[in-house]
Structure formats: C-alpha cells, structure tokens
Chain A
Amino acid sequence: MVAHKSRNSTLPGGVPKLSRSAVYKKRALYKRAKVQTKPSVEPAATHKTKQVQGEKNGGTREVPLQRQPRFYPTEDTKKPLNNRRKVKPTKLRSSISPGTVLILLGGAHRGKRVVCLKQLPSGLLLVTGPYKINGVPLRRVDQAYVIATSTKVELPALPDSLTDGLFKRKPKPTKNEKEMFVENTAEDPKISAEKIALQKEVDALVVPAVKSVDMLQSYLRSRFTLTKGQFPHEMKF
C-alpha cells in the first residue's frame, strides 16, 4: 500500500479535526480490520504437586511455588516508587581535558595556574601544581571553580592509585574516659607519607613535560591577576 499523508488535520489549539470514528470511516478501516489472534501463552505454573505420605492424606497435595508470608504488617504502608535513575559521571566542560592548564578561582590557591591530571569518579578534577613549581599538591577541584585555558601539557601515563580514596578523611580516634585528660604527645602528621611519596612520583612525571615547553614553568609559577581594563567575560583564555 502506498503511504498517504494523514487523513486527519489539526485545528488551531492542537485539536484534531476529525474524531477517531470519523477517521476510521475515512480510512475505510472496516475493509481492512482484521481480528488479531492472540498467540496462546502458557500460564505460568503456580502450584506443583507433591507426594504426601500417610494413607489418609490423599497421596498428593498441590503446593504453591511461591509461599505467602507468615506475617503481615498491621497497616498498609506506601511502597516507595521505583528509582530507575542511573548515576552518570559529571559532564566535563569540553575545554577541560587531562593536561589542560587551569586557573584556580577559589580556595587557598586561588589565582594559581595548575595542571589538570584527570577527572575522578566522583566528578571532581584531580590537579597538581606541580607541587615543586607552585606549591599546589595533588588536590581535588570542582570544575565550577576553575577557568580552563587553551594551554595543554602532554602528560605521560599516570599511576593508577590516583582516586578519590586518597582524599578520604581519617576518622579521629575516640578516647575513652581515662585518656580524655591525657595530652596527645605524638600528633599525627597532617600529610601521610604515602601522599608525599605519591606527590613526588606524579611530579616526576609531570615536571619534565612542563619543562619541555618554553616559558611554561614560569607561567605556572605566576598567579593570574586582572589589571585595569581587563574584563574576564571579554578575555580569551
């Protein structure tokens, strides 16, 4: 059959011109209406027969496959609706990619230019100064607090241990009554030895890549500032 454009049309307001029955008549569907035979579906088995012992017990018994619960709640409570939301990783701005030089806009290191290493599973960006160049350690940063420049550094393969787990806070050891009035003689170091080692490892990979580009090291050492007549919305980064 050659396809025809719609036999119906829409009136202003989104209302169809012809009713369902009018369209049925117009399309002469009475000529084409066929009774659909439903494919026969075997009803799923709900019971199974079990052999029962004992003369007077009838030999077999129909046992339901799915047993009813023994206890019911006294009140009908509402079931929460199905949550079919799939958590997707945070969408990264197209201007940010591993190796991009970023300008930090907040925090202690605001104004500093850092190298973006990767996007972590939490959605945050993992950056490093590198620490040797501008004192910014391996740090997590939200892409909203960052200006992405068009400068990119060629990064080599980085260690796999760079994940969100690195930044998990260590729980403070709870003191019992006896120890409450005893001063802490040994303070935990603020930065763990593993973190320092990892920082050195990552910097050993990133710093040569930075040094290979002319003036990039001094660029990362400097801070971003606005001078008179400079407006961020008019500037290209």
Chain B
Amino acid sequence: SSGINAEYGEIGNVCFIRLGENAGKTGVVEDLVDQKHLLIDGPDSGLARSVIRLNQIAITDLKVKIPRGCKTKVVRAALAKDDIPAKFLKSGLSKKSEAQQAKAALGDFARFKMRESKTAHNRKIRSTVRKLKKSS
C-alpha cells in the first residue's frame, strides 16, 4: 500500500496488534474513526470488533476485500477465502512475535544456557577473524 495509506491503513488491511491487552492478535481494518483510531475486527484470532489506536498496531501487507464497516461474518468469510491466517504465519511479523514469546517463556537455566552459547559462538568468530587477520 502507498504512502499515506500505509501509515493509516486501508479498509481491508490486515493488522497485527503489538501493544495492549489484545497484543499478539491480528485483525482487519473495517473503518477509520479519526486520525488516530481504527475500527478493527479479528474473528479468527479472538479479537472482538472494536476501536483501536494506531500506535497499538502494525499494519501488514496482507489485504482482504471487504466493504466499509461490514459485519463480522463478512470479515470471517473474506479471511477464509484468501487464507489470511496461513499467509500471516509465514510473515516476518508473526515469526518475530513467536520468537519474542519464546524468549519471554525461558526459565533462568535456559537463559543462562543461551547466554553461554552466544558467548562461545561469538568467541569462536572473533578468534577465527583474528587468526585470519594475522595470517593475511
């Protein structure tokens, strides 16, 4: 979507909610309320038809064709037709959010192991680079 629309979202744009109590869910833009609010609906991800602030969401490239301010069942049918849930799972946003959730769920021991493996990995890289620099 082009310049202005990419910032505010077009009707039918699939959005990912980053912040707030509905964080992690996806929804479709149904209408624009004002400069900072959208009417969004996400029947497949458990998001109720509600008004949301623009700063709470990230607008994705995925789009469905729906009329302005339509009912939830129309949105549900449109999402199923274009198979949006499957397409969204492949997107970078979805993978990033999954990675964030996985990181937050790590226990203390897991965090320690991750740190150690990262350090060991970086040390290896650094020592290899140093060796190459010396030899060249």
Residues of A within 8 A of B (CB): 101, 103, 113, 147, 149-151, 215-216, 218-219, 222, 224, 234-237
Contact with A along B87-114 (1 / 0, CB 8 A): 0000000000000000011111100110
Residue B7 CB within 8 A of the other chain: no
Is B116 in the interface zone, CB < 8 Å from A? yes
Question: Chain A: interface secondary structure?
Answer: mixed
Contact A149 B116 (CB under 8 A): no
Chosen A-B contacts, 27 in total, with CB atoms closer than 8 Å, are A101-B108, A101-B109, A103-B108, A113-B108, A149-B107, A149-B108, A149-B109, A150-B107, A150-B108, A150-B109, A151-B107, A151-B108, A151-B109, A215-B112, A215-B113, A215-B116, A216-B109, A218-B116, A219-B109, A219-B113, A222-B112, A234-B104, A235-B108, A236-B104, A236-B106, A236-B107, A237-B107
Asked if B108 and A224 make an inter-chain contact with CB atoms under 8 angstroms apart, the answer reads yes
Q: Say whether A237 contacts B116, CB under 8 Å.
A: no
Measured between beta carbons, the chain A residues less than 8 angstroms from B104 are 234, 236
User: Which 9 residue pairs of A and B lie closest in terms of their CB atoms, listed nearest first?
Assistant: A151-B109, A149-B108, A150-B107, A237-B108, A219-B112, A215-B113, A236-B107, A219-B109, A236-B105
Interface of B is mostly: helix
Using a CB–CB cutoff of 8 Å, the interface residues on chain B facing chain A are 104-109, 112-113, 116
Contact residues in B for A103 (Cβ distance below 8 Å):
108
* Residues of chain B contacted by A151 (CB below 8 angstroms): 107-109
Instruction: Tell me the minimal C-beta distance from A219 to chain B in angstroms.
Output: 5
Query: What chain B residues lie within 8 Å of A222 (beta carbons)?
Result: 112
Residues of chain A contacted by B106 (CB below 8 angstroms):
236
A234 to B100, CA, bound (A): 13
- Please, which residues of chain B bring their CB within 8 A of the CB of A224? 108
Most buried by A among B104, B106, B112, B113: B112
Shortest distance between the CB of A148 and any CB in chain B (Å): 10
Q: Bound state CA distance, A101 and B112, in angstroms?
A: 13
Whole-angstrom distance between the alpha carbons of A151 and B109 in the complex? Answer: 7
CA distance A113 to B106 in the complex (A): 17
Expressed in whole angstroms, the minimum distance between the Cβ of B111 and any Cβ of chain A is 8
Chain A residue at minimum C-beta to C-beta distance from B104: A236
Given contacts A150-B109, A215-B113, A234-B104, 10 further A-B contacts (CB under 8 A): A101-B108, A101-B109, A147-B108, A150-B108, A151-B107, A215-B112, A218-B116, A236-B105, A236-B107, A237-B108
Q: How far is the CA of A98 from the CA of B107 in the complex (A)?
A: 18
How distant is B116 from chain A, measured CB to nearest CB, in Å? 7
Distance from B102 Cβ to chain A, minimum over Cβ atoms (Å) = 11
Give Cα A210 to B64, complex, Å.
55
Q: How far is the CB of A199 from chain B (nearest CB, A)?
A: 25
Q: Which B residues are in CB contact (< 8 Å) with A235?
A: 108
Contacts of B112 in A (CB 8 A): 215, 219, 222
Task: Please name all residues of chain A whose beta carbon is closer than 8 Å to the beta carbon of B113 when the two chains form the complex.
Answer: 215, 219
Separation of A174 and B60 alpha carbons in the complex (Å): 81
Q: Which residues in A have their C-beta under 8 angstroms from that of B108?
A: 101, 103, 113, 147, 149-151, 224, 235, 237
Residues of B within 8 A of A149 (CB): 107-109
Q: What is the distance, in angstroms, from A165's C-beta to the closest C-beta of chain B?
A: 33
Nearest CB in chain A to that of B107: its residue: A150
How many Å lie between the Cα of A224 and that of B111 in the bound state? 11
B112 to chain A, nearest CB (A): 5
